[in-house]
Amino acid sequence: MSEEVKFLPFAEARQLVAAIQEEEDIYHQDRRILTVYNHDDREVCWFDFEELEKAVGEVPKDQKKEMIQDYILKHIPDWALDI
């Protein structure tokens, strides 16, 4: 039985997240991930860049970064508060 992931409210996620950093996946070359860090510079979680692009869909290039950031902030798992 798998447990459903619960996400933090957007405002709470904004307070928790200090940075979203694009990085290479150390296990898979040619794969990019976005790692989320809190204000203690601790890794909170990460997102696959290609999956994010699919989830966000087609958006104007000048809005892409903002839309991806918005999506991430809406999908920070509630267990991130325990880190």
Beta strand 32-38 pairing with 17-24:
antiparallel
Residue 55 falls within a domain, yes or no? yes
Beta strand 17-24 pairing with 43-48:
unpaired
Cα 22 to Cα 33: distance, rounded to the nearest angstrom: 6
Residue 9 falls within a domain, yes or no? no
Mean pLDDT of the residues in the chain: 93
Q: How many domains does the chain have?
A: 1
Residue 11 falls within a domain, yes or no? no
Give the domain extent around 35. 17-82
**Predicted model pTM:** 0.89
Decide which of 65 and 25 is more confident. 65
pLDDT score, position 2: 61
DSSP letter (8 states) at residue 7: B
For residue 67, is pLDDT > 80? Answer: yes
Cα 64 to Cα 7: distance, rounded to the nearest angstrom: 22
Give every CB contact of residue 65 below 8 A, 6+ residues apart in sequence. Answer: none
pLDDT score, position 1: 52
Residue 51 falls within a domain, yes or no? yes
Residue 7 falls within a domain, yes or no? no
Percent of the chain at pLDDT > 90 equals 82
